[in-house]
Structure 1
Amino acid sequence: MVITKSRLVLGATVVTLSTIAITSLINHSRGQALFKASPKELVDEVWQIIYRQYVDGTFNQVDWPAVRKEYLNKSYSNPQEAYKSIREMLKKLEDPYTRFMDPEEFKNMQVDTSGELTGIGITIGQDEKTKQLVVIAPIDDTPAFKAGILAKDVVLEIDGKSTKGMNTNDAVALIRGEPGTKVRLKILRNGQTKRFEITRARIEIHPVRYSERQTSIGKVGYIRLNQFSANAAREMQDAIRKLENKQVSGYVLDLRGNPGGLLQSSVEIARMWLDKGTIVSTIDRQGEQDREVATGRALTDKPLVVLVDKGSASASEILSGAIQDNNRGVIVGTQTFGKGLVQSVRPLEGGSGLAVTIARYHTPSGKDINKHGIDPDVKVELSDKQRQDLWLHEREKLGTLADPQFAKGVEILGKQAAQNTTTSNKN
């Protein structure tokens, strides 16, 4: 199977769905028939994909040929035995983003073309040091968001079951469920435990929201990007063009709480803001770089501020890193999540699937942000209370001058406009 850029994602496991576009799925019934004949073939298929594509040629210091011998010497009488062995095999890599999905889990990862999802609306990952399940970000206006779940919350229990030693696939299976049913989460936040009971729902997600804000420096375009889904670039293009027609003086692009998504979506959106320069470099196991660059087709050159926080991950970090390193705009907020790995998702025989880490990405200046993130140019911290009040109880203030990070962005835009006027007068 040829891997295209539309299938490359940036290391986030989404509880409601995946933002992965998979277009050439294996015929399910045919795959099941083949799989029943030889479960061992699936074990070897997964081993082979890791052997050919995994980002680290040492397999994180694991003797991968010995692993193959170990697991192919076993007998498998049913699919579940093979699934268990595959998960054990992948666990040896100690990479939470390289993961196997059984048919049901893989089906749940696929993008629903109607745009309607079922779940509570959080993005989760596994902390590479502690191995704990961590909330990357709640998705705007979803049950988890409205309940008060925050980025970096540690998920301790799901419906009373401890998550210690649990992988993201198992967590997803427990959190999912029919609309109207409830799930109970025990969360650790800043040393304190909190309990939430959240009702699952059908969720319609539009990745881009925008508006014109009247400020002391004139009209400012405010664009909030929730995730880098397949239709995010189209919606972003529409937002910029409409705001340009309103003759805004500058832009505030809000990536706070954006957990990422498709690599190509982040590249396409970066090209709307950057007229020239490198956007991102991906480095595979041979050290070969695939550079994405601007194409001279930016939709605007007006002053730009980008808002980020600890929930801004992966594709959000690519976009903010490209803007920062090319001096296209000013990054405001707090340090981002720190996820610099690229996954490819593969359908397997029997309807199952595999996500495998195939590359690392660097910002244009060569920074590897994995486990560190993007440092803002201007740091503006919000307390947990401020964040909860702003994002949950006083939502109407988000993206207004009552929002401290947005207000700082407007202040910066005003200074940039003044500098541009001074330069213009000198010329």
Structure 2
Amino acid sequence: MAISKRGLVLGATALAVAAVTVTGAGIHLSQGQAFFRESPKELVDEVWQLIDRNYVDGTFNQVDWEAVRMEYLERDYGSQEEAYGAIREMLEQLDDPYTRFMDPQEYRNMQVDTSGELTGVGIQISQDEETDEILVVAPIEDTPAFDAGVQAQDVIMAIDGQSTEGMDLNTAVNLIRGPVGSQVKLTLKRGERTLDYEIERARIEIHPVRYSYREGAEGGIGYIRLTQFSANAAVEMRDAIQALEDRDVIGYILDLRGNPGGLLYSSIDIARMWLDDGTIVSTVDRQGIVDEEIANNRAVTDLPLVVLVDGGSASASEILSGALQDNHRAVLVGTQTFGKGLVQSVRSLPDGSGVAVTVAKYLTPSGRDINKQGIEPDVVIELSESDRESFSQDRERVGTLEDPQYAKALEILTQQIRVNREAANVVVSPALN
């Protein structure tokens, strides 16, 4: 099966938001829906075959995948819901929380996770592979969760009083989602503390790029904050860089903190805006085939660059930051990134449901597999708990000199600009006669 890069997503985080409009697959499916209602066993086999053809681990987690097929096809299914339950049970044997089945509503919700108009609280969540805890990867800026003070790496202990112990990711997302104006109570663990947040759901419009012109000691600095790699992120990034170039900035700070990732092609497109040449990322499937993406000599700028990262910088953020670091294009400042190095293909099924299949892992240009490891920044600057609390209460301080990570990034960028300027101004004195 050929898989378009534009259909690949990185990691398996999920937005706790709900679709206002239905997009993509699930619209013209009446014949397929009727067929699979009459023969839900066919749906089970369709999912099995997708895994059989495409799953990244050819051993299927040391499971006899042919025997699994026989087991589930010998069963009788009285309804679609029974088939859905069987599919989820079947996929659990892979021990991969990122390969998952979505019923039609969950699939429609997923389709607008990276673009469109959303409703919810505005957090992206994941499930820890070892502990099964539901984790906040990052709150989305200018959303109810962000405004309430929810932070990256918070553990969601309960939703409206219902414990998340043993809960799967889709169930957690569906409990958090809801209509505009309704409330949801999240019980979070942060370090040794347990915190309760009553959050009102709202309509969320996501613009992933923000930028501003800053006066620096050596001249104008461009500050760009990228909050997720959505379908419109590359267009907005190019517009931001061009607008700042028009103002004759002399360097950039790119802020990827709290960016949970998104679309693979978006990260590649944005990397090419900063890199003129060199490898961006390699993907490796179960046959070991390497698909290498490279820069195409169309960088928008070659000015000095410092990138801010933290534990909420995941998947596509790690592709971009890893490419910039390995190609010596940027200095990374902050803390270790999240560690999501897997690629999923999301496929629609004829009854309107869908399945996300882990089809590959990715490597940085130097060959690093960062899954579960993350990327270590060149300069480590930790934020104190008081800083985190303060920034969650007053986000206007983020990306200012009151932000220790930003302040360090600005210091490093200023040093780079000075070194470049001094090198450009070196004049060899003529010999005296």
TM-score relative to the length of structure 1: 0.96
Does 1:310 find its partner at 2:292? no
In 2, the alpha carbon distance for the partners of 1:389 and 1:423 equals: 40
Larger Rg: 2
Task: Decide whether aligned partners of structure 1 residues 112 and 409 sit closer, same or farther in structure 2, where only a CA change above 3 A counts.
Answer: closer
Query: How far apart are residue 425 of structure 1 and its match?
Result: 2.9
- Residue aligning to 1:272: 273
Of the structure 1 ranges 302-311 and 60-69, higher mean CA displacement relative to structure 2 is found in 60-69
Does 1:396 find its partner at 2:385? no
Task: Decide whether aligned partners of structure 1 residues 17 and 335 sit closer, same or farther in structure 2, where only a CA change above 3 A counts.
Answer: farther
Q: What SS is found at the alignment partner of 2:425?
A: helix
Task: Decide whether aligned partners of structure 1 residues 3 and 114 sit closer, same or farther in structure 2, where only a CA change above 3 A counts.
Answer: closer
Query: How far apart are residue 44 of structure 1 and its match?
Result: 0.4
Task: Decide whether aligned partners of structure 1 residues 150 and 112 sit closer, same or farther in structure 2, where only a CA change above 3 A counts.
Answer: closer
- Residue aligning to 1:374: 375
Runs of at least 5 residues in structure 2 that lack an aligned partner in the other structure: 428-433
Q: What SS is found at the alignment partner of 1:117?
A: strand
Query: How far apart are residue 157 of structure 1 and its match?
Result: 0.8
- Please show how residues 102-141 of structure 1 align to structure 2 within 5 Å: 102-111=103-112, 115-141=116-142
1:10 alignment partner AA: L
Query: How far apart are residue 349 of structure 1 and its match?
Result: 1.9
Q: Is the 8 A contact 2:114 2:230 kept in 1?
A: no
1:40 alignment partner AA: K
2:417 alignment partner AA: A
Aligned CA RMSD, in angstroms, stands at: 1.6
1:164 alignment partner AA: E
Query: How far apart are residue 276 of structure 1 and its match?
Result: 0.4
Of the structure 1 ranges 327-336 and 207-216, higher mean CA displacement relative to structure 2 is found in 207-216
TM-score relative to the length of structure 2: 0.95
- Please show how residues 199-278 of structure 1 align to structure 2 within 5 Å: 199-278=200-279
In 1, the alpha carbon distance for the partners of 2:122 and 2:9 equals: 18
Q: Is the 8 A contact 1:17 1:110 kept in 2?
A: no
Q: Is the 8 A contact 1:26 1:348 kept in 2?
A: no
- Residue aligning to 1:87: 88
Query: How far apart are residue 29 of structure 1 and its match?
Result: 2.0
In 2, the alpha carbon distance for the partners of 1:325 and 1:307 equals: 15
Does 1:145 find its partner at 2:143? no
Query: How far apart are residue 68 of structure 1 and its match?
Result: 0.8
Q: What SS is found at the alignment partner of 2:196?
A: strand
Query: How far apart are residue 173 of structure 1 and its match?
Result: 1.1
1:424 alignment partner AA: A
Q: Is the 8 A contact 1:7 1:22 kept in 2?
A: no
In 2, the alpha carbon distance for the partners of 1:214 and 1:74 equals: 68
* Cα deviation digits, residues 92-136 of structure 1 (max 9, x gap): 111111000001111111128983211111111111111111111
In 2, the alpha carbon distance for the partners of 1:332 and 1:374 equals: 11
Does 1:61 find its partner at 2:43? no
- Residue aligning to 2:387: 386
* Cα deviation digits, residues 233-262 of structure 1 (max 9, x gap): 000000000000000110000000000000
In 1, the alpha carbon distance for the partners of 2:141 and 2:116 equals: 15
| Equivalent pairs, count | 424
In 2, the alpha carbon distance for the partners of 1:112 and 1:94 equals: 24
Q: Is the 8 A contact 2:114 2:262 kept in 1?
A: no
Of the structure 1 ranges 101-110 and 314-323, higher mean CA displacement relative to structure 2 is found in 101-110
1:4 alignment partner AA: S
Q: What SS is found at the alignment partner of 1:223?
A: strand
Does 1:353 find its partner at 2:354? yes
In 1, the alpha carbon distance for the partners of 2:156 and 2:340 equals: 19
- Residue aligning to 1:167: 168
In 1, the alpha carbon distance for the partners of 2:200 and 2:24 equals: 31
Runs of at least 5 residues in structure 1 that lack an aligned partner in the other structure: none
Identity rate, percent: 64
In 2, the alpha carbon distance for the partners of 1:248 and 1:114 equals: 30
